[in-house]
A and B are shown apart, each in its own frame.
Chain A
Amino acid sequence: MGANTRTGRMMPSYIDDRLIATIVLTAIAAVIPLFVSEYVRTLIQRCLLWIPPTFGVYIIYSLLRQVHFAQSIFIGLGSYIAAFLAGKYFVTSELLILLPLSLIVSIGVAYVLGIFIMRRTGFYFAIMGIAVTMAFWSLVYKMRQITGGSDGISDIKNPSLFGIQLGDQGLYYVSLVVSLGLILLMRRILHSPFSLQLRAISGDLQKAESIGIPVNGMRRLAFIVAGANAGVAGVLLAFSYNYVGPTTFAWEFGAHFVQAAIIGGVNYFVGPIVGAFVFVGLEFLVSTWFPNLWEVVIGVIVAVIVVTVGEEGVTGIVKDLFGRTLKRANLEERTYSDGK
């Protein structure tokens, strides 16, 4: 298969503009810590770690048309696993143990919670999600002996990988690799029969049931995928913030991922990535000048985006503005078409 028919250039078909864009962006992310200050590097690392949980929200939103406020549970679980094992009761700081452990715990908790939360859709799901985050919050807040209560756990040492102690820069590259790996995994998932089944469920429940899709099981599986993403990111976020407190479980923290996904635009696969960067960047910029106002500013922005462009988000706006340039890059990979 010689020529790539879409671009009309003589290239093998597996090389297209999207792949080139991915490689270029990854290369930029890989070399940028060599040129910027430590502070900016931490900020970019945080953006990278915000991507997987935002993808969780994105999957539930774009495939199932539900709002997933409960992402903070899994971030919190991952963070507290890291804080307990690598900080308070120092057992191990080996990432090869922490990350799979957090993954398993997140999947287990998501499986159990999915039975209760995913029972009904619409506002029932959203409210039950908020309720679960608050239940976890009060649990962590009140178990003062174990979790440190509202003081949380600080003083978390940097992790090690293959027995080698990682520096701050090493942590950055681990975050980059993990978040890139999860993005590629999500891309694979979105092009799988699983995603088609979820879309069928959100399109027409009765039809989906009658052609034999296990509706409840599939919904729960989507919830598990979203939670696993957040759980993995939670471990690295704990090392990045160097502090874990009950606010990790607070419902507004979960709502921030919904806001990030909406800002990025849930119609596009790049939406969560754009959203995570825009959200964390905005939070940083606004809170530099007006420390108390960043929630207000971001809330207003999200509200305006929902009213004006709906699911298109910043990605859609940029695409409209620079459509001709981006058309060649073909970034507009639609994952949801509004049937109603």
Chain B
Amino acid sequence: MFSMGLRYILNALPVVSYVILLSFSYSFLLYICGRVSLTFAGIYLVGAYATVSLSIALMGNSLSFAGFMGILLLASLLGAAMLVASYLCFERFLKTDVHRMVATSSLLLVFRGLVKVVWGTTPVTYSAPFLELGVSEIAGNIVPNYYLFMLGLALLLMLALAYFLNRTSWGMRFRASSLDGDRTMAQACGVNQNLVTLMTFAISGVLAGLAGGLYAPIAGAAYGSEANALLLAALSVIIGGVGSIGGAVLAAFIVGIVRAVAAIKMPVLELAVPFIIASVTLMLRPFGIWGKEFRY
């Protein structure tokens, strides 16, 4: 029984890791800037495709793991650049939440369409890093090392972000401008709000691009996978609570593991189960398991 449970958890690790990154990318933007943006799913898709294409173009069959890390870095920087560009050219003109939801969902469709134009609808895969790292054994279960690498990287980034937000002076400026603090007051105290917003978008873009790049060697880059990503990440934010790092990790584990169990036991309900969890969470704790009450 225990080993079965452990196997489900180990199989769920890739989804858990990318949902951690992606959901925090969304909730970070919402928490610091108070901006709803669905563009992150488009960045995720582009990140996945960019990673696969770059890997195939630059490395081909001869894989070096350092090279793959470099490509992941490129993909996350590309994500940051795209999200910042979309903010500068477009999203900063949106004044209300309703406008933001409508416009960014259109923007997501635009990203999707552009991916379709550039890469087509056939999924592309590059699984060399996944195969290269080999497997290890945990309590009788064989688990690919890449899964552990993904989870480790995601948790490490979350820890780094928690340190940045809670222990550094720039983090204090971020928190002062967030939904917890007071934007106008922070501005009056000399915190450059434009810079904070730009940096928030950049960090959010890094997380979204990295999520796509990290998950690509396992699932491949597939047109249409952005809907899955959007769903899991956004529901994790609802479950975990807006702006909470612990909540993002916890909710990603809940969603990922329950989804993995459902995918094997009741494949029909695979995507209904996260929705049901989110509904129950909204009934019991309207602001998420770990969330505080904001104006949302």
- A residues lining the B interface (CB < 8 Å): 61, 65-67, 69, 116, 119-120, 122-124, 126-128, 130-132, 134-135, 137-139, 142-143, 250-252, 255, 258-259, 262, 292-296, 298-300, 302-303, 306-307, 310, 340
Known contacts A134-B271, A138-B272, A139-B269: A124-B282 contact under CB 8 Å: yes
Nearest to A117 among chain B residues (CB) is B279
When the two chains form their complex, are residues A128 and B106 in contact, meaning their CB atoms are under 8 A apart?
Answer: no
13 A-B pairs with CB atoms under 8 Å apart are A65-B98, A67-B102, A116-B282, A122-B97, A124-B238, A124-B296, A130-B230, A131-B235, A132-B275, A134-B228, A142-B270, A250-B227, A307-B94
A132: chain B residues within 8 A (beta carbon): 275
Known contacts A134-B271, A142-B268: A255-B105 contact under CB 8 Å: yes
When the two chains form their complex, are residues A123 and B296 in contact, meaning their CB atoms are under 8 A apart?
Answer: yes
Interface residue B252 (Cβ < 8 Å from any Cβ of A): no
When the two chains form their complex, are residues B98 and A299 in contact, meaning their CB atoms are under 8 A apart?
Answer: no
Q: Which of A137, A250, A307 is the one whose CB lies under 8 Å from B90?
A: A307
Q: Kindly state the separation between the CA atoms of A307 and B96 in the bound complex, as whole angstroms.
A: 11
Known contacts A131-B275, A252-B227: A69-B105 contact under CB 8 Å: yes
Nearest to B233 among chain A residues (CB) is A127
Classify chain B: how many residues form its interface, as a range.
Answer: 35 or more
Q: Which of A119, A134, A139 is the one whose CB lies under 8 Å from B227?
A: A134
When the two chains form their complex, are residues B231 and A131 in contact, meaning their CB atoms are under 8 A apart?
Answer: yes
Known contacts A139-B272, A307-B90: A302-B116 contact under CB 8 Å: no
When the two chains form their complex, are residues B234 and A131 in contact, meaning their CB atoms are under 8 A apart?
Answer: yes
When the two chains form their complex, are residues A119 and B103 in contact, meaning their CB atoms are under 8 A apart?
Answer: no
When the two chains form their complex, are residues B90 and A303 in contact, meaning their CB atoms are under 8 A apart?
Answer: yes
Interface residue B176 (Cβ < 8 Å from any Cβ of A): no
Nearest to A66 among chain B residues (CB) is B98
B102: chain A residues within 8 A (beta carbon): 67, 258-259, 262, 302, 306
Q: Kindly state the separation between the CA atoms of A170 and B101 in the bound complex, as whole angstroms.
A: 39
When the two chains form their complex, are residues B117 and A292 in contact, meaning their CB atoms are under 8 A apart?
Answer: yes
When the two chains form their complex, are residues A123 and B36 in contact, meaning their CB atoms are under 8 A apart?
Answer: yes
Nearest to A116 among chain B residues (CB) is B279
B189: chain A residues within 8 A (beta carbon): none
Q: Kindly name the residue among B112, B113, B117, B268 whose own CB sees the greatest number of chain A CB atoms within 10 A.
A: B113
B231: chain A residues within 8 A (beta carbon): 130-131, 134, 251
Nearest to A143 among chain B residues (CB) is B268
Nearest to A136 among chain B residues (CB) is B272
Q: Which of A123, A142, A303 is the one whose CB lies under 8 Å from B97?
A: A123
When the two chains form their complex, are residues B227 and A251 in contact, meaning their CB atoms are under 8 A apart?
Answer: yes
Q: Kindly state the separation between the CA atoms of A302 and B113 in the bound complex, as whole angstroms.
A: 14
When the two chains form their complex, are residues A138 and B270 in contact, meaning their CB atoms are under 8 A apart?
Answer: yes
Nearest to B282 among chain A residues (CB) is A119
A138: chain B residues within 8 A (beta carbon): 268-272
B103: chain A residues within 8 A (beta carbon): 302-303, 306-307
For the complex formed, measure the closest distance between the CB of A297 and the CB atoms of chain B, giving whole angstroms.
8
When the two chains form their complex, are residues B101 and A296 in contact, meaning their CB atoms are under 8 A apart?
Answer: no
Q: Which of A61, A130, A303 is the one whose CB lies under 8 Å from B106?
A: A303
Q: Kindly state the separation between the CA atoms of A258 and B108 in the bound complex, as whole angstroms.
A: 14
Contact with A along B85-109 (1 / 0, CB 8 A): 0000010011011110111011101
Q: Kindly state the separation between the CA atoms of A120 and B283 in the bound complex, as whole angstroms.
A: 10
When the two chains form their complex, are residues A306 and B99 in contact, meaning their CB atoms are under 8 A apart?
Answer: yes
When the two chains form their complex, are residues A299 and B113 in contact, meaning their CB atoms are under 8 A apart?
Answer: yes
Interface residue B71 (Cβ < 8 Å from any Cβ of A): no
Interface residue B157 (Cβ < 8 Å from any Cβ of A): no
When the two chains form their complex, are residues B110 and A296 in contact, meaning their CB atoms are under 8 A apart?
Answer: yes
Q: Kindly state the separation between the CA atoms of A69 and B96 in the bound complex, as whole angstroms.
A: 17
When the two chains form their complex, are residues A67 and B98 in contact, meaning their CB atoms are under 8 A apart?
Answer: yes
Known contacts A131-B275, A134-B271, A138-B268: A303-B98 contact under CB 8 Å: no
Which residues B233-289 have CB closer than 8 A to chain A? 234-235, 237-238, 267-272, 274-275, 278-279, 282-283, 286
When the two chains form their complex, are residues B234 and A127 in contact, meaning their CB atoms are under 8 A apart?
Answer: yes
Q: Kindly state the separation between the CA atoms of A142 and B90 in the bound complex, as whole angstroms.
A: 38
Which residues B102-145 have CB closer than 8 A to chain A? 102-103, 105-107, 109-110, 112-114, 116-117
A124: chain B residues within 8 A (beta carbon): 238, 282, 296
